[in-house]
């Protein structure tokens, strides 16, 4: 499971970075979203990957770590708000500058 | 009083929420509420500074969950000092904003309060993930404040600022996640204790997490390869927002100081002083980049923005020298550069308003209505910034230069002194273009005394820092001593603080 998880994270991050480097607003927003998915999964994995262990201390020798889940939840909420903000900003930018390039002007002009 | 440390968070949080709910209130009422909340932070933080003066660390366990399981707020001399600095800067910036800059959108005051919540929280928290949360609060308010009032230039600058900071947040979470995965805690004091006893096989990963965090903080602080967003963003923001942003780069530096002074501090064995060497060279290069940018700027606001970059470089050099005297000097310089930097943004706006369409462009423009007054203030601010005697910049720089060891002095002295000369050149060129070479008639208009008062109030911080230099020096030296003695911090987790 660890190998699959690691590969997934790698692919998500690489795709995210690639899309951000496209420097057009829509790919950039998608890239940021993919990157934040990768980060959330990464945080989740920091509590160690294990199946079938209870989240309550004392029931068995092994127990799941609840903290990363709380962290991921916070990160998701914040990431969601930020994405919404970027989308609104992107619309505004399109209206004000007439281009979807992140520099606010077409390259070479 | 045991609840004192949380008040600087509750006050802006409640006032911000109130203003948000009452966004249909009359503007004068909103201004009154916002000003009252912001200015009452000044005596509050002054009280916290007085409390922190007994060299005790005050730990506030939120919900009474004991550390390391609960989140703590940590009040020491450094955080108290920065809270007071923020309150003073924000008070004057808000006063300035109340004369018209807040009319362009309904929620300026609510955003301003949330911005203060984020900044105060970042200075107070003792938990790494909580630091992330407060960073996000201050960032999302700063996005909105930066874009407040619209305009294509602001949207362009804002887009870069927002996307870069979102990337930064992702890296921050990766760094925090790695530390949690390795050490199983997020409390900064607990992290410091556990880094000290970490297994040798974990060292490379711990270093990687440290460098990830460093990248994020360097982006916020605008250190060399990551400062390109700053000049544009600061130059296009409205004046009071740019003035408040003078503290934002310091939040990044504060985070560097906390993480690399405490978690990777002297107790960390092999990892101690992890980034000092790197930060030292980056600091010198940042100073150089700031000077070059300032000399090439064709606009007063942009010139000032590059001087912010430059001051970050000087501060970082003080941190990277890793000695008590250098740290004290850097903290004194931080007070100076924040107050004067903020004041100069306000002054630049006053000047721009009297120049009509020319604004802050350093070209021949109309004569000013108050050439002597504004010119005099500009002169005062410029020699403070450039570090000429008798003002605060001079004292700060002198302390820093004297704190350098012989090997460091070889690099620091020429870089800082030549940078001072460059600043002087850039500012005198700007000053002569604005005040001595007017090429047109005076534009008639109303002068706003409150704006002038806010600007002078901040600018007087320079002379005040000199007049009260002795007690301030004693305070920053005690702060540096406290920061370098890690034992009390490590004791927090033992239950006794």
Q: Between chains, do B151 and A96 touch, taking CB under 8 Å as contact?
A: yes
Residue A105's SS3 state is: coil
The minimum CA-CA distance between A96 and chain B, rounded to whole Å, is: 5
Domain presence at residue B496: no
Structure confidence by residue, pLDDT tens digits, B353-362: 888 777 788 8
For tokens 């021949």, the residue is B364
Q: Between chains, do B177 and A43 touch, taking CB under 8 Å as contact?
A: yes
ipTM of the complex: 0.93
Mutation target to probe the B interface, by most B beta carbons within 10 A, among A29, A85, A88, A94 is A85
Q: Where does residue B200 rank: exposed (0-12), middle (13-18), buried (19+ CB within 10 A)?
A: exposed
Q: Is A85 on the interface with B (CB under 8 A)?
A: yes
Residue B75's SS3 state is: strand
Each domain of chain A, given as residue ranges in start order, spans: 2-49+65-97
Pair B163, A86: CB distance under 8 Å: yes
For B378, the domain range is: 4-491
User: Looking at the predicted structure, is the pLDDT value of residue B445 above 80?
Assistant: no
Q: Considering only CA atoms, which of B416, B387, B246, B412 is closest in space to residue B323?
A: B412
Counting DSSP H helices and E strands in chain A, the numbers are 3, 0
| Confidence class for position B497, pLDDT limits 50, 70, 90 | very low
Q: Considering only CA atoms, which of B37, B8, B21, B138 is closest in space to residue B95?
A: B37
Number of domains in chain B: 1
Ordered DSSP codes for B456-493: HHHHTHHHHHHHTHHHHHHHHHHHHHHHH--HHHHHTT
Alpha carbon dihedral B261, B265, B266, B269, in 10-degree steps, equals -160
- Enter the tokens of residue B195: 């880094």
Q: Is A63 on the interface with B (CB under 8 A)?
A: no
Give Cβ neighbours of residue A14 (< 8 Å, ≥ 6 apart): none
Q: How far apart are CA B408 and CA B280, in angstroms?
A: 9
Structure confidence by residue, pLDDT tens digits, A39-61: 999 998 888 777 777 777 777 77
For tokens 């690099």, the residue is B411
User: Looking at the predicted structure, is the pLDDT value of residue B386 above 60?
Assistant: yes
Mutation target to probe the A interface, by most A beta carbons within 10 A, among B67, B71, B162, B164 is B162
Domain presence at residue B305: yes
Q: Between chains, do B136 and A35 touch, taking CB under 8 Å as contact?
A: no
pLDDT at B437: 79
Domain presence at residue B37: yes
pLDDT at B496: 43
pLDDT at B275: 84
Q: How far apart are CA B471 and CA B485, in angstroms?
A: 21
Mutation target to probe the A interface, by most A beta carbons within 10 A, among B163, B174, B202, B208 is B163
| Confidence class for position B387, pLDDT limits 50, 70, 90 | confident
Between B73-82, B157-166, B442-451, B484-493, the lowest mean confidence (pLDDT) is in B442-451
Query: Which residue numbers of B have CB closer than 8 Å to A's CBs?
Result: 129, 133, 136, 140, 143, 147, 150-152, 155-156, 158-160, 162-163, 166-167, 169-170, 173-174, 176-178, 180-181, 186
Q: How far apart are CA B146 and CA B159, in angstroms?
A: 10
- DSSP code, position B433: I
Structure confidence by residue, pLDDT tens digits, A47-101: 877 777 777 777 777 777 888 888 999 999 998 999 999 999 888 888 888 888 8
Structure confidence by residue, pLDDT tens digits, A24-44: 989 999 999 999 999 999 998
Structure confidence by residue, pLDDT tens digits, B77-132: 999 999 999 999 999 999 999 988 888 878 899 999 999 999 999 999 999 999 99
Phi, psi (deg, nearest 5) at residue B74? -125, 120
Structure confidence by residue, pLDDT tens digits, B188-219: 999 998 988 888 888 999 999 999 999 999 99
Domain presence at residue B199: yes
- B155 to chain A: nearest residue by CA? A93
pLDDT at B305: 93
Domain presence at residue B45: yes
Residue A53's SS3 state is: coil
| Confidence class for position B1, pLDDT limits 50, 70, 90 | low
């Amino acid at each position: 499971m660890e190998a699959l998880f690691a590969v997934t994270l790698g692919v998500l991050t690489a795709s995210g970075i690639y899309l951000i480097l496209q420097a057009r607003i829509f790919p950039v927003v998608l890239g940021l979203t993919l990157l934040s998915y990768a980060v959330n999964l990464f945080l989740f994995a920091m509590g160690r990957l294990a199946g079938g262990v209870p989240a309550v201390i004392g029931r068995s020798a092994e127990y799941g770590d609840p903290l990363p889940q709380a962290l991921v939840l916070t990160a998701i909420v914040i990431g969601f708000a930020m994405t919404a903000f970027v989308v609104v900003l992107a619309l505004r930018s399109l209206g004000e500058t007439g281009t979807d390039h992140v520099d606010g002007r077409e390259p070479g002009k | 009083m045991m609840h004192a440390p949380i008040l600087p968070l509750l006050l802006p949080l409640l006032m911000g929420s109130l203003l948000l709910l009452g966004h249909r209130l009359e503007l004068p009422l909103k201004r009154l509420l916002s000003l009252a909340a912001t200015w009452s932070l000044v005596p509050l933080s002054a009280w916290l500074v007085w409390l922190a003066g007994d060299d005790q660390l005050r730990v506030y366990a939120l919900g009474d969950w004991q550390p390391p399981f609960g989140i703590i707020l940590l009040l020491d001399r450094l955080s108290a000092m920065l809270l007071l600095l923020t309150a003073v800067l924000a008070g004057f910036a808000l006063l300035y904003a109340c004369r018209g800059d807040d009319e362009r959108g309904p929620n300026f005051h609510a955003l301003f309060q949330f911005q203060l919540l984020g900044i105060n929280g970042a200075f107070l928290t003792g938990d790494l993930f909580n630091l992330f949360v407060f960073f996000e609060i201050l960032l999302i308010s700063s996005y909105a404040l930066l874009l407040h009032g619209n305009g294509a230039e602001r949207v362009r600058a804002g887009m870069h600022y927002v996307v870069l900071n979102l990337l930064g947040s992702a890296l921050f979470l990766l760094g925090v996640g790695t530390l949690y995965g390795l050490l199983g805690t997020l409390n900064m004091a607990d992290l410091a204790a556990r880094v000290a006893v970490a297994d040798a096989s974990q060292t490379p990963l711990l270093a990687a997490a440290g460098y990830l965090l460093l990248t994020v903080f360097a982006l916020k602080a605008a250190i060399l390869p990551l400062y390109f967003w700053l000049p544009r963003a600061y130059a296009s923001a409205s004046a009071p927002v740019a003035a408040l942003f003078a503290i934002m780069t310091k939040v990044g530096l504060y985070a560097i100081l906390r993480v690399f002074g405490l978690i990777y501090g002297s107790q960390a064995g092999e990892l101690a002083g992890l980034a000092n060497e790197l930060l030292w060279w980056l600091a010198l290069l940042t100073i150089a980049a700031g000077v070059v940018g300032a000399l090439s700027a064709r606009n007063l606001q942009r010139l000032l923005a590059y001087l912010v970059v430059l001051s970050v470089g000087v501060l970082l050099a003080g941190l990277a020298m890793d000695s008590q005297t250098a740290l004290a000097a850097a903290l004194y310089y931080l007070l100076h550069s924040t107050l004067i930097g903020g004041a100069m943004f306000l002054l630049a706006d006053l000047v721009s308003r009297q120049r009509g369409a020319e604004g802050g462009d350093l070209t021949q423009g109309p004569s000013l209505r108050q050439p002597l007054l504004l010119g005099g203030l500009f002169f005062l601010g410029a020699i403070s910034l450039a570090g000429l005697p008798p003002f605060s910049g001079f004292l700060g720089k002198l302390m820093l230069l004297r704190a350098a060891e012989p090997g460091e002095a070889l690099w620091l002295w020429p870089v800082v002194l030549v940078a001072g000369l460059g600043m002087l050149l850039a500012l005198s060129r700007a000053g002569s273009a604005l005040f001595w070479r007017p090429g047109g008639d005076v534009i008639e208009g109303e002068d706003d005394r409150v704006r002038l008062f806010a600007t002078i109030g901040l600018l007087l911080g320079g002379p005040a820092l000199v007049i009260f230099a002795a007690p301030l020096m004693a305070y920053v030296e005690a702060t540096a001593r406290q920061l370098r003695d890690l034992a009390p911090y490590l004791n927090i987790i033992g239950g006794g603080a």
